[in-house]
Amino acid sequence: MSARVVGSGRSSARVRDSRLHGPPSTFGTRQGYFQTVMGAIQPDVFIAQELKTSVAADSFRINVLQAALPGRVWKSTWVSASPSTESAVFWDSLKVTASGFTALNDGGPRSVLACLIKPLGYVSATAGTRLYSIHLKAGGPGTADSTTRRLEATSIRNSLNLAPTGTNILLGGDSNIYGAYEGAYQRFTESQVDNDGRLFDPYTMPGDWHSIAGYAIYDTQCPCLTGCNTTLGFSGGGLDDRFDIFLSTAPMNDGQGLDVVPGLAGTFAFGNDGAHFNQDVNGGPNGVVSATVANALHEASDHLPVVAIVQIPSRLADSTVSIAFGRVLVAASVLRQLVIRDGAPAPADGLDYTIGAAPAGFTAPSGSFSVAAGAPPNRHDIGMDTSAPGSRVGSLPLTTDDPDSASRTVPLSGTVLRHAVASLDSASTLTALTLDFGSQPVDAFRDTTVRVHDAGWDALQASLAVGGATLVGGDGRFSLVGGFTPLEIAGVGHTWSVHFDANGASLDSSTTATLTFTSADEPLPGAASQPDLVVHLAAHPMPGTGAVPPGGPSVLGFEAPRPNPSSGTTWFGFDLPAAQSVRLTVYDLSGRRVATLVSGTLESGHHMARWDGTLERGGRAPAGLYFARFETPGMRRVARLALLP
C-alpha cells in the first residue's frame, strides 16, 4: 500500500459554494465530476482548502469520496478555529489512522490544519507523518500579499522547528507562491540554525514558476482556459502556475522508512501531461488521463489536485518467532531456518535488519541484511552444537528498521542426546548370551524369557528402537510367544518369551538356534544403528514324561542353579502361575548381599535369570561358595552355588 496523499487548492471550496449557495443543477454536475476525479486518483488521504463549514466537509466525504470509492470507509475532520482553517482532512480508515488534529494560527487570513497520519496497523509515531494543510494569502509577487505569505511561512517554519529531530513532516496545499525567489518558499526550504522543520521540494525549480513553458509539467492552475464556470469563480487563463505543492522534511527524503517517492513518480499534478501550457487540460488528447477524466478536471475546479505517493515503513511480518531444534543425537548435523520477511505492501521501505552474535551452543550468520517489500523472505541457517549431550537454550538478537519492532530476540532451544545402548543386561552392555532350555522330557519344556534393555538410559539418552527379531536354525522349533512387534525401549526393558516345541524332535540330542534382535536409536536426527543382540538357544529333549500343565505352570517352582559349580554364567529358572512380585539375590558366606538378579513384579510363566559373577559394587566375585535366595509370595528357597576361578 502506498499512501496516496492528495491536496487540492479550491476543488472542495466549490463543493461548499455550490451545495449551499449555487444552483442545484450546477452542484449536481460538479459533484459528478469530483466523483470521476476521485475514482481515477484512488486517494488514501485527501486534504482540501476553502471548506468553510463542517457541513461542506461532510458533503464531500459522503457525496463524493464514499460515492466514488464505495469499497473504502472514509472519515473526515474539520476543525473550528479562529481564524478558520477552511481545511478538511479526509482519510480511508481501512488504510490509515488520523489523530491529533490542531489548528495553527500563522498570522494569515486562514489557520493551518495539522494532524498525525499513520498507516493502519503501525503503533510507533515514527511510522507516521505530521500532515499540514496550508492555504497562504493569494496575490501577486512583490505585493503586500507576498509579504503576508512570507510572514505566514516564517510562523509555520518556526513551529515546524519545534518538532523533535527526525520528525516526518508533510506540508501541502494551496501556497499561492509564484517562484523560488519568494520569501515564503525560501523560509520553508532554507537552512537555519534549527533545521528540524526544514522542508524540501521534490523538484529543483529555480527562479520564476509563472508562465514558464519549461515548467509546464508542474503547473496546477488553471485547468480551464475556455468555457470556464464563471458562476463559481474559476479564474481561467489555462495551466501556467504552480500554486499547489507538497514539501517534506529530510527524514521523508532519506530513502528509509516513511518517505515521499522521489521526483515526478512520487509527486505530480494529476492530469497534467506537460502538453497543455496556457491551455485547457482537456484541450486535445491528454497523455496521462482519459478524456472523461480530463473533462472532469476542467469542470470541477480551477486547480488540479496534486498527488504525493508515500512509501510506508518496513514491517517485520510472518517471520520466525522462535526456533526449536527438538531432540537430536550427538554429532548430528542440524539446521533450522530463521525466516525474515518484509510484510509491508509495496511501495514500502525495504526491511533492513541485523542479526547479532549467536548465543553459546548455537551458530548464526551475524551481519546486516535487507529484504524488499513484496519480495520472497530471506532464509538464514541457524545451527546447534551437537558435540556433547545436554540442553541448549539461548536468544538470538535481532534489530530492524521496522518502527514497531526495532529490537527483538528469537528464542533458541534444543536437546542433544547420547546414542542408545542395546543390551541384554540392564546394568552393563551385553550383546550376546546363551539361553539353555536344559535337558528335559519332550513334554516338560517350559517357555523361558529374554529381556532387551537400553542400558544406562536417562533423559539425555535416546530410546532404543527394536526393529526386528530373527530366528535362524533349530528346524523351526524355537519361536517368540505372540510373535514380534517393533517397539521403543527407554528406562524399562522389554521381555520376550521364547518357546521350544520338542514334539518329534530327535531325542537325546541338542537342538540349537540363534535369535538376533536388530535395533537403532529412535528416529531422530543423527540416529545410528546399534549392534545386534544375539541369543544362542539350546534344548536337549530326553525320553520320559514331565508334568507340565497345559497353558503354563500351575504351581510355584524354583529350579536349582545350573551349571553348578560355574566358572562363567549361572542360570536360575522359576515358575510363576500368576503375575506376582519376585526377588532373587545372591549372598556370600558372611551374609552380605553381593548381587540382585530380580526385583519386581513379573508376569506368569517360566522365567530365567542369570548371574555372570558381577558384584553390585563393581568387579567380579572371587571364587568360593555363595547362596542364592529366591523369594515370592508363597515360596522361599535358598540354593547353594559354587563359583570356580
| Per-residue model confidence as pLDDT tens digits over 400-437 | 999 999 999 999 999 999 999 999 987 788 999 888 88
pLDDT of residue 437: 85
Q: Which residues contact 553 (CB under 8 A, 6 or more apart)?
A: 446, 575, 576, 577, 604, 605, 606
Question: Residue 217 and residue 511: Cα distance in Å, rounded?
Answer: 105
pLDDT of residue 1: 33
Establish whether the linkage from the previous residue to 83 is cis, with ω within 30° of 0. yes
Overall average pLDDT of the 441-467 stretch:
91
pLDDT of residue 442: 83
Q: What is the CA radius of gyration of the chain?
A: 46
pLDDT of residue 2: 41
Q: What are the residue ranges spanned by the domains of the chain? A: 3-311, 323-417, 419-548, 552-645
From 279, 335, 285, 336, select the one nearest 304 (Cα to Cα): 279
CB-based contact 108:148 (threshold 8 Å): yes
580 to each of 498, 557, 599, how far by Cα in Å? 20, 13, 11
Lowest mean pLDDT among 78-87, 104-113, 308-317, 549-558: 549-558
Question: Residue 310 and residue 122: Cα distance in Å, rounded?
Answer: 15
Overall average pLDDT of the 166-176 stretch:
96
How sure is the predictor about 9, in pLDDT bands with cuts at 50, 70 and 90? very low
How sure is the predictor about 11, in pLDDT bands with cuts at 50, 70 and 90? very low
CB-based contact 107:147 (threshold 8 Å): no
How sure is the predictor about 445, in pLDDT bands with cuts at 50, 70 and 90? confident
From 313, 146, 288, 320, select the one nearest 217 (Cα to Cα): 288
Q: Domain 3-311: give its CATH superfamily.
A: Endonuclease/exonuclease/phosphatase (3.60.10.10)
Q: What does the block give as the cell for 251? A: 527524514
Scored b (16 or more CB within 10 A) or e, 46-55 reads: bbbbbbebee
Residue 21 burial (10 A CB sphere; 0-12, 13-18, 19+) = exposed
Question: Residue 392 and residue 417: Cα distance in Å, rounded?
Answer: 11
Lowest mean pLDDT among 158-167, 334-343, 562-571: 562-571
How sure is the predictor about 607, in pLDDT bands with cuts at 50, 70 and 90? confident
Quote the pTM value: 0.73
How sure is the predictor about 320, in pLDDT bands with cuts at 50, 70 and 90? confident
Question: Residue 296 and residue 309: Cα distance in Å, rounded?
Answer: 22
Q: Which residues contact 336 (CB under 8 A, 6 or more apart)?
A: 323, 324, 325, 381, 382, 384
Question: Residue 186 and residue 202: Cα distance in Å, rounded?
Answer: 15
Pairing of strands 487-489, 511-521: unpaired
Q: Is it the case that residue 152 has pLDDT exceeding 50? A: yes
Q: What percent of the chain has pLDDT over 90?
A: 71
492 to each of 373, 416, 451, 482, 580, how far by Cα in Å? 55, 21, 10, 20, 18
Pairing of strands 464-473, 570-576: unpaired
pLDDT of residue 397: 96
Give the end-to-end CA distance of the chain in Å, rounded to a whole number. Answer: 88
The residues pairing with 340 across neighbouring beta strands, listed in sequence order, are 378
Q: Is it the case that residue 4 has pLDDT exceeding 50? A: yes
pLDDT tens digit sequence for 503-558: 888 888 899 999 999 999 999 999 999 999 999 999 988 875 444 445 567 789 89
Lowest mean pLDDT among 362-376, 393-407, 505-519, 594-608: 594-608
Pairing of strands 335-340, 351-355: unpaired
CB-based contact 380:338 (threshold 8 Å): yes
Q: Domain 419-548: give its CATH superfamily.
A: Immunoglobulins (2.60.40.10)
Backbone phi, then psi, for 266, in 5-degree steps? -110, -30
Backbone phi, then psi, for 58, in 5-degree steps? -65, -40
CA angle (469, 472, 473) in 5-degree steps? 150
How sure is the predictor about 6, in pLDDT bands with cuts at 50, 70 and 90? low
pLDDT of residue 439: 79
Question: Residue 550 and residue 143: Cα distance in Å, rounded?
Answer: 125
Overall average pLDDT of the 242-270 stretch:
95
Q: What does the block give as the cell for 462? A: 535416546
pLDDT of residue 362: 98
How sure is the predictor about 230, in pLDDT bands with cuts at 50, 70 and 90? low
Overall average pLDDT of the 42-68 stretch:
92
Q: What does the block give as the cell for 196? A: 528540524
Backbone phi, then psi, for 503, in 5-degree steps? -65, 120
CATH number of 552-645, picked from 3.40.50.970, 2.60.120.10, 2.60.40.1930, 3.40.50.300:
2.60.40.1930
How sure is the predictor about 24, in pLDDT bands with cuts at 50, 70 and 90? very low
How sure is the predictor about 441, in pLDDT bands with cuts at 50, 70 and 90? confident
pLDDT tens digit sequence for 455-490: 999 999 999 999 999 999 999 999 999 999 999 999
pLDDT of residue 28: 58
Compute the mean pLDDT over every residue in the chain, rounded to the nearest whole number.
90
Overall average pLDDT of the 34-51 stretch:
94
Amino acid at 273: D
Please state the separation of Cα 94 from the chain's center in Å. Answer: 24
Q: Is it the case that residue 26 has pLDDT exceeding 70? A: no
Question: Residue 208 and residue 220: Cα distance in Å, rounded?
Answer: 15
Secondary structure letter of residue 208 according to DSSP: B
Overall average pLDDT of the 621-639 stretch:
92
Overall average pLDDT of the 159-169 stretch:
96
pLDDT of residue 318: 73
pLDDT of residue 23: 36
Please state the separation of Cα 28 from the chain's center in Å. Answer: 51
Q: Is it the case that residue 19 has pLDDT exceeding 50? A: no
How sure is the predictor about 232, in pLDDT bands with cuts at 50, 70 and 90? low
Strands (E), 60-208: 74-77, 87-92, 96-104, 112-119, 129-135, 169-174, 199-200
Same fold for the domain at 3-311 and the one at 323-417? no
Question: Residue 140 and residue 211: Cα distance in Å, rounded?
Answer: 13
The residues pairing with 88 across neighbouring beta strands, listed in sequence order, are 48
pLDDT of residue 428: 80
The topology (CATH level 3) of 323-417 is: Immunoglobulin-like (2.60.40)
CB-based contact 447:605 (threshold 8 Å): yes
Q: Is it the case that residue 27 has pLDDT exceeding 60? A: no
pLDDT of residue 10: 35
Lowest mean pLDDT among 41-50, 270-279, 388-397, 423-432: 423-432
Handedness of CA 373, 375, 376, 381 (dihedral sign): negative
Backbone phi, then psi, for 265, in 5-degree steps? -70, -25
